[in-house]
Structure formats: C-alpha cells, structure tokens
Structure 1
Amino acid sequence: MGIVDNDFHKILTERHSVRRFDPTIKISRDEMNEMLEETITAPSACNLQAWKFVVVDTDEGKKKLHQYFMNFNFPQIDNSSAVVLFFGNTLAYKKYSELWHSMYEAKKVTKEAMEAALNTFMPLYEKAPQEMLVADSMVDSSLAAMQFMLIAREHGYETNAMAGYDAKKAAVVMGLDPKQYVPVMAIAIGKHDPKAESEITTTRYPLTDLVDYE
C-alpha cells in the first residue's frame, strides 16, 4: 500500500492502541520490509543499532506466540495482520567494526573519525557488564518500537504494543539465543475491525504533574 498519510501531527496525536483487528487484512512482506527500513532510521546508543525484529505473520508463527503470551492478548495476535517482536541484541557490538568500515568505504566518514569511534566505543562494549548491554539494547529497541508504531500509521495501519508474555520463554520459542536476545516489546499491526466497537480513548495526566523546569 505504501505511505497514505504524511500529516505528522495527526499521526502522532491520533495514535491509540487498537485491540480489535480486521482478520481479513494482510500486509505484504514487501510493505512490512518497507516499514522496517524506515524503522531502523531510529536513533541508537553510539549508532550500535542493538535491535532484532521477528515478524510473525503466519498461523504457525502465531501458534508459537500462544505458548508464552497471556490469554488476554490472543485476540490481537490471532486477528492482526502481523505481530512484530522487538528484541534487544546484547552482542550488537561484535559487528560494530564492520559497520564503521562500511561507512568509511562509502565515504560517509573519514578514517580518523572511524578510528576515533572504534577506539572510544569498542573497548567500552567489549568490557561492559551484561547489565549495561541489556540496558542499552532495550533502550535502542524501545526507540525503534515507538518509531515503528508511528510509521504504521503513516502506512494506514493501527498498532497495539504488548508486554503481556513470559519473557523467559520469548527468545527460545522464537528460535533465538536467550543469552543474546532480550525481549523488549511485541507490536500487533493491522486495521481496526469495522464491525467492532470503538476503541477506548485514554486520558493523559496533566503536564504540570509530569514536568519540572530548573
């Protein structure tokens, strides 16, 4: 389908969680890849891009999700066009040198800039405790997940972010190494079922309760 709405204010302010999806709507893998290409322009710590996506768009894949998701998420899983799983990649730094060399070869950075980045950041990640690698990957993947939800609306779809699952089983069930990949979020995507009732529009806390200026 491609981009159907370029009004960023509308995309942002009218986004809300949709739980009742139209099961007849399918998203082609070409369009899903297009949305994910836009997603990976999200910022990440030191440009590490410590994320991994698993797109579940088949009946067989959705049955796997039933193994570790809570029952109240089954309707979104079963009726959405797809569920995109966002995992943090705690070993993303192992490809960091390769990434910077590709940027250098593409003349995006100078040799000095490349060496400065690698000499500064690589030792930090190589010596980092697991807690830091997990935290960084979760922040990176959260930024990508939020960007994906906005991109979905740009393409005319709605989303529902889900964390109601057994995190200890997520990577294993999806065939990933649980020591490397940390589950961050699952996002159901599709079109709202026109036969279903309207979704709840939530109220936000007043800004005065949330913001301090110093």
Structure 2
Amino acid sequence: MTNSQNIHTLEQQSFLDVIKERRSVRTYDPAVHISREEMTEILKLATLAPSSSNLQPWRFLVIDKSELKQKLLPIAYNQQQVVEASAVIAVLGDVESYKKAEKIYGQAVEAGFMPADTAKSFIERTVGMYSSLPAEKARQIVYTDGGLISMQLMLVARSKGYDTVPMGGYDQAKFIEAFGISEQYVPVMLIAIGKATKPGHPTTRLPIEDVVFFNEMS
C-alpha cells in the first residue's frame, strides 16, 4: 500500500470514528469554555453543508452568557444541559435568504467558479422564485437546510472533541419572544455543545433491511 493510500485509509477511519462516537450528551462540564475563535471555526466548517440553490439560509444565535442560558432554561423545559453546556446554539432558518443571492453568486464569480453573466442570470431567477414562494414552502426549505447544517455542525464538534445534543423540546413561541427573533427567522432546533461529564447513552439502530429499499418500496 502506498503512502497516499495509507493517508486516505487513516482519514477515512478518522471520519468513521467521528460518526460512531457522536452521541446525544445531556450532562456537561460547566467549567469548560469554548472560545469565540473556536466556536467560529466550528460554525465556519459547518457552513460547508449543502443548501437549496446555495442560499445558505442558516443563521446561528450562540447563547453562551450564563444569565442568558438561565433565561433559556425554563423555555427549554428545564433541561439542565442548557445551563451546563458551554453554549447553546439556536439554529435558525432565514426565509429571506434570497436577499443575499447577489453576494453569494458574486463571490462565486470572484472565486472563478462562475462567469459573471451566468451569475446574473442565477441571481434574477433565484430572487424571482424564492421571493414568491408560499410561506409554508419557504419554511419547509429552511427546515430541510437547517437539518443538514445541524448534523454537520454536530459532526464537526465531535471531530474537535466536543459533545452535542440536538433539542427540539422547547417552547418555540416563548423562545422567539424572549430572544427577539423576527418573523424573518424560523427556529429549527437548539444544539447544546460542550464537554461531556457522562457519556451519551449507547443506542441501537434498526436492521438496515428494515429501512432500505432498492428501486421500489415493499
């Protein structure tokens, strides 16, 4: 086996380890602090996730101040990981993400990934289509993209030695009110992140033949 093959095998194994080691953790060390620099790097890597028309509708509200975590605690039904974790990341979906289409496709032109005339056409088509979507369809898109980036964020966190838990159990209306979230943003989920003091519970998965169908459902 060549050196390049060895490196590829090690990288693949490392990635598989990250997938296998990620668990939902609910008990965290409150003394662990994640710096703004490291949190920004985690989120930057997470944003490499795919999204509809590359509009990247995800927005993150990182809640790491103690008093704000205490404010969030009753909204999240008193789940202790809210105050024990280093931070809680609220993943939000921007239903007006099409307003950044010019910036997004302009960056693609600057990077040499797309001719300027193609970008202009994409911008016009994208803005026209997304700005006229029914509200429910726009929300569905950002929920899908929000799920994609949430999973990527949790895997990136695990690769850097941190633990996470995705949280859908919170009062969305009270969260929106307490943190001043405008109608432009749809809360997708909360993700607690930090260092576990107790491993996440091991779980089982259905046999693959129970969930996979080839070519037709049976």
TM-score of the aligned structures, taking structure 2 as reference length: 0.88
Match of 2:193 in 1: 189
Match of 2:29 in 1: 22
- Equivalence map 1:42-81=2 (5 Å): 42-71=49-78, 73=79, 75-81=80-86
Distance 1:203 1:116, change over 3 A: same
Query: Amino acid of the residue matched to residue 118 of structure 2?
Result: A
Q: Is it true that 1:158 corresponds to 2:163 in the alignment?
A: yes
- 1:203 aligns to what SS in structure 2? coil
- 1:169 aligns to what SS in structure 2? helix
- Equivalence map 1:1-214=2 (5 Å): 7-71=14-78, 73=79, 75-177=80-182, 179-193=183-197, 196=198, 198-214=199-215
CA–CA distance in structure 2, aligned partners of residues 78 and 122 of structure 1? 40
Cα distance, 1:22 vs. partner?
Answer: 1.0
Query: Amino acid of the residue matched to residue 166 of structure 1?
Result: D
CA–CA distance in structure 2, aligned partners of residues 199 and 67 of structure 1? 23
State the superposition RMSD in angstroms.
1.6
CA contact (8 A) 2:167 2:190 kept: yes
Aligned length: 204
- 2:50 aligns to what SS in structure 1? coil
CA–CA distance in structure 2, aligned partners of residues 169 and 111 of structure 1? 44
Spell out, residue by residue over 1:65-97, the C-alpha distance to the aligned partner (whole angstroms, 9 max, x if none).
1242112x2x10111111111011111111212
Displacement over 6 Å in runs of 4+: none
The gaps in structure 1 that reach 5 residues or longer are: none
TM-score of the aligned structures, taking structure 1 as reference length: 0.90
CA contact (8 A) 2:21 2:158 kept: no
CA–CA distance in structure 2, aligned partners of residues 118 and 29 of structure 1? 33
Identity %: 38
CA–CA distance in structure 1, aligned partners of residues 50 and 71 of structure 2? 30
